[in-house]
Amino acid sequence: MKISKTDPRLTAYALGEIDDSKERNQIEEAVAADTELLAEVQSIRSMSDLLIGELKNEAAPGLSEFEKAKLEQVPAAKPKRTLVQLLLSWPVATATAAAVLALLFIPQLDRIKMTVPEIQTSENDGAAVRYRELKVDIPAELIEGTPQPIKVPNLEPAPTSAPRIFVAEPKKEPEYTAKVEQRSSSTPPPRKPTIVVNNPSDVAVPELNIDVNADSSAVYNRGGGGFAGGLSAVRDISDGSTQYGYSANASERQATDALPPPVTQPKPGSRQDWNTEKYDPIEDTDFRSPLVAPLSTFSIDVDTASYANVRRFLNQGQLPPADAVRIEELVNYFNYDDAAPTESLEEGGDPFAVHMAQASAPWNPQHSLMRIALKGYEMPWSERPASNLVFLLDVSGSMSSANKLPLVKEAMQILIRRLDERDRVAIVVYAGASGLVLPSTTANNSETIEHALNNLKAGGSTNAGAGIDLAYKVAREHFIEGGNNRVILCTDGDFNVGQTNRGELTSIADEQAGEGVSLTILGFGMGNYKDDMLEDLSNKGKGSYAYIDSRAEARKVFLEDLASNIFKIAKDVKIQVEFNPEQVQAYRLIGYENRRLKAEDFNDDKKKAGDIGPGHSVVAFYEVVPAGIEMDLPGVDKLRYQKSAEAKPVPGEVATVKLRYKRPDADTSRLIMQTAHSGDLLEFNDANDDFRFGAAVAAFGFKLRSSETIGEFNYAEIERIAAGAIGLDSGGHRSEFTELVRQAERLSRQN
């Protein structure tokens, strides 16, 4: 298909608005083959995310509470007042009194004499501030006993003596202007000069530590009246009450240099962000000798939450906590070009193909990496089974921020556009209590579903247990035989009331998975994100676990990887590797720390393991130390009652890889076996793009975890390897990874 940058279908594809899977696949192939089209798609998506974010943050226009109150008031009829009442009203009486006082006082101003000797005091910062004392001589008749022609209540009493007034000369430092510019627009401009009045009684005046550039809110928040009208102390100089702008207890203070600085009020809206995120601890895997531990057994893991969560930290300018970095989830976030099975299930083929490769380790050329990759068969969208989906949405108070519940709604709307009349959707919400806001309905009723979504609001505590019970109940009531029955939990994991015990919740998920209802977890938000709880729930619930940190990630989960995330083609997939001690000195599995199984669990069909979906890529790396390289490995004493096992020579074989899986509707597992040979080992630079890129991602995980096992291997080398192995990169995810590596390097230098 030929498509230009101006084709409107390109915009529709970028925004996830093309429902026809055939047309969408054609456009995707065209984009993958043309770097200009890929750049245009990424640009459209970036602009879309920017616009959505800005519009979401824009406050809706509305009336203030004061304006609403005024609109609600019913104007009362005003009674007519007589002329006498009008003349005796408060505004008229006040104006008359002010005029009379002005006529009495103004002619006497020329009789007031002031002398201005200079004094000097110092500020807290040590800079000198000069003050001038204004000695005021007021005629006696203006101080006490002045005739008052009109008695007006609430006037300040006349002063009993001449106050001592100090005028601080304004500083000439350039900072004065800058400080004024930083004031709130609601704060009046600073007075020039600032005037400080002490107790009018005849007492010794202490030195005043006063900053004439102090925040003017300290001045204008105080009242004044009478003769002192408008004269306000910049700072109280005693613990007593302040009247007329001066301290009533100033005589009790002989010095104010020791006064504490004024209390700075917190900025509006400022708060301490308490981070209560929780992650299960992870310990790096040590190298093991095949003579001591010949078998390595683990369950596959198709979760990707750790990668998106790590990206969130880096994009916010933080290195992630070490326990937030699960290397296998970083590696499996990406799609790889390994071939899918050639035989269909009807022809007796397996639901996934197994690929193995070996190359030298980039961080230690003496060691090698063994890559085991599974690739699920591609399921045409039209052949997918019908879905019975119950969305379990956390609408508690902790989900109110823009990167939580609003993003949940957007993610759901993307998914619903991919469903049709074969599928059913229900919405259960939980906060302090749980409820069914949308009974199970066919997915083509998009308006009904979107109406239910748009009416959701966050608030209250989090009673997850009640919500999970109700969601599973709804899923069982509409169970589809042979279909995809699934609860999709969208939450930050902050379960704080009701059934909060981790063991009880995971037991529910485990039991329901055994009855055919899987649990997919979508994590949202930050600050109180409970990764440990969510990962455990998804593991027990036999579903995938993803973290949604942006609209772009929602598109990846519900558009690019939808089929592999909500459908399964094989369940209980386990891998067991036996290493040949004739060829291997030591080995270690990279990642999968919380997916390890006992050796005997491999053949136990009652032991559950991970599932794989159509088109899914699952990759695991082993680091292998060839025989003959000396290593200090932990060992065990010789056995007393039986002979130590002796290696059987098998030339050329490095390891035997065995896989067990069950069909989705089966209870008995099937076995696949392959062998890795020493002759297949390549130089690292000769390995294909998928091998080299996956190794770079694994090394990135080690660096983020501050692991010492890769020595001096640095971010620059990781970025160089990844940039040289990007390949087609149709979704742009590998290119994004290289930028994350650069960001991590910048942050590590700052630390």
Whole-number pLDDT of residue 35: 75
pLDDT at position 92 is 53
pLDDT at 751 (0 to 100):
77
pLDDT number for residue 661: 98
pLDDT digits (tens, 9 = 90+) for 359-373: 999 999 999 999 999
* Strand 352-361 to 681-682 pairing: parallel
pTM above 0.75, yes or no: no
In the chain, what percentage of residues exceed pLDDT 90? 44
C-alpha dihedral over 631, 632, 636, 639, to 10 degrees? 50
List, in order of start, the domains of the chain with CATH numbers: 1-46 (no CATH), 295-379+570-629+650-686 (2.60.40.1230), 387-542+549-560 (3.40.50.410)
Tokens linked to 663: 């069909």
Residue 146 or residue 526, greater confidence: 526
Q: Check residues 434 and 714 and name the one with the higher pLDDT.
A: 714
Each residue's pLDDT tens digit, 83-92: 545 555 555 5
The Cα–Cα gap between 370 and 590 comes to 10
Please enumerate, as own/partner, the contacts of 728-731 that have beta carbons within 8 Å and a separation of 24 or more.
Answer: 728/32, 728/33, 728/337, 729/32, 729/38, 730/28, 730/31, 730/32, 730/38, 731/335, 731/556, 731/560
Residue 381 confidence (pLDDT):
87
- DSSP annotation of 185 reads T
SS3 130: strand
Please, which residues have CB within 8 angstroms of residue 556's CB and are 6 or more apart in sequence?
Answer: 731, 733
Which pLDDT does position 166 carry in this prediction? Answer: 45
**Matching residue, tokens 């068969």:** 377
pLDDT at 497: 43
Torsion of CA 133, 135, 136, 140, to 10 degrees: 140
Q: Which of 307, 309, 371, 286 is nearest to 587 (CA)?
A: 286
Cα 359 from Cα 680, distance rounded (Å): 8
State the Cα–Cα distance between residues 411 and 408, nearest whole angstrom: 5
53-57, 200-204, 405-409: range with lowest mean pLDDT? 200-204
pLDDT of residue 174: 44
Mean pLDDT along residues 642-657? 82
- CB environment 656-665: b (16+ within 10 A), e (fewer): bbbbbbbbee
Average the pLDDT over 523-527 and give the result: 78
Q: Which of 306-320, 571-585, 631-645 has the lowest mean pLDDT?
A: 631-645
Burial 364-386 (b: 16+ CB within 10 A, else e): eeebbbbbbbbbbbebebeebbb
Helix, strand, coil percent content, the chain, rounded in steps of 5: 35, 20, 45
Q: Which two tokens stand for residue 743?
A: 């960001």
For the chain, the straight-line distance linking the first and the last C-alpha, in angstroms and rounded, comes to 49
Residue 420: what pLDDT? 93
Judge whether residue 581 has pLDDT over 80. Answer: yes
| Spatial contact of 297 and 601, defined as CB atoms under 8 Å apart | yes
Q: Identify the band that residue 284 occupies on the pLDDT scale cut at 50, 70 and 90.
A: confident
- Contact status, residue 296 vs residue 579, Cβ threshold 8 Å: yes
CA geometry: angle 698, 702, 704, nearest 5 deg = 115
Digit-coded pLDDT (tens) for 59-92:
555 544 334 444 444 454 555 555 545 555 555 5
pLDDT top residue among 235 and 580: 580
User: Which residues are 391's β-sheet partners?
Assistant: 427, 488
Q: Which pLDDT tens digit goes with each residue over 291-337?
A: 999 999 999 988 999 999 999 999 999 999 999 999 999 999 999 99
Q: Vertex 491, ends 489 and 494: CA angle to 5°?
A: 130
- Between CA 259 and CA 675 the distance in angstroms is 80
pLDDT tens digit string along 591-608? 999 999 999 999 999 999
Q: Which positions ≥6 away from 304 have C-beta within 8 Å?
A: 329, 332, 333, 544, 545, 546, 547
Q: Residue 537: in which H helix or E strand, if any? A: helix 531-540
**Cα–chain-centroid distance for residue 568?**
30
Nearest to 696 by CA among 724, 674, 730, 721: 721
pLDDT, mean of residues 277-299: 93
Could you tell me the CA-to-CA distances from 487 to 456, 466, 471, 563 in Å, in that order? 18, 14, 7, 15
Mean pLDDT of 151-167: 44
Residue 173 has pLDDT above 60, yes or no: no
